[in-house]
Amino acid sequence: MTMSDPVVEDVVTTVSHSAPEIRRGLVGRRDAVDEENPSGETQVEADIWADELLADRLSSIDGVSQYASEEREAIIDCGRDAASTDGYTVAVDPLDGSSNLTSNNAMGTIIGVYDAPLPARGENLVAAAYVLYGPITTMLLATEDTVSEYELTDGNHRRIREDITLPDDPVVYGFGGRVPDWTDEFTEYARTIETELKRRYGGAMIGDVNQVLTYGGIFGYPGLESRPEGKLRLQFEGNPVGYIVEQAGGRSSNGEQSLLTVDPSDDIHERTPVFVGNESLIDRLEMQLS
């Protein structure tokens, strides 16, 4: 896992070495706690534990100036000078899909490394990765050069695929949100897609996106009638996953434009509709929603 920038390499290596420990630590931490994250979602013990572990390790890396997490309200300034904007910033979703702990289904960890203070545009990402806690613990890593997949075991990582691109012929789709809460425009699009592709939706974004990257297709969590801004967070989920898919030759979108070109608000926990997948499917989506 050699990269041109030693700070980025330290961040990615720290996540890859921490992932097996996080997986082991899920045991006994499945219960909900009497707290909510800044987005108003119920936390489980594992959410808080994984966030504290990653915050401690990533914020101690020389060259990382900020750490932000879906599980905490404020950004941690971790440079020697708290007012400094030098260095890379790291945005993390410590346990994507942690509600799946109850049913013991797949979940993941998402990380974005930005070369700009947070909140930042996705175009400022220099690397993004996600760990999938499936039958095998794997990490998909995207840099400016390539997209690669690694198998993770205690203290070790082994590259099993490199130069990953989306298959040309899409096979799967997965759409989130309650169907009665979908907009008419998105419902019409979804009804067309479900006649063409196989449905794969497991309640953890990373598991569903990994299906798309493996087989080709589209994942989406749209804006809803009750929540036009959608559910997923731009800094922690939309931008990093959008970056990974675009580096693999696909497209990302908020329904109008690439997620990577969206100007963020001052709210680190800003939500956005998220769509990622094969270019042709995203193009059709944007035409339908426009």
Residues making up the annotated binding site are: 70, 93, 95-99, 201, 231, 237
Residue with tokens 């904007």: 85
What are the binding residues for substrate? 96-99, 201, 231
What are the binding residues for Mg(2+)? 70, 93, 95-96, 237
Strands (E) located in the chain: 32-36, 42-44, 64-69, 76-77, 88-96, 107-114, 125-133, 137-143, 147-153, 156-161, 172-175, 198-199, 217-221, 251-253, 274-277
Residue with tokens 């996600």: 130
| Structure-block tokens of residue 282 | 């995203």
At a CB cut-off of 8 Å and minimum separation 6, what does 173 contact? 193, 194, 197, 198, 199, 200, 212, 217, 218, 219, 220, 277, 281
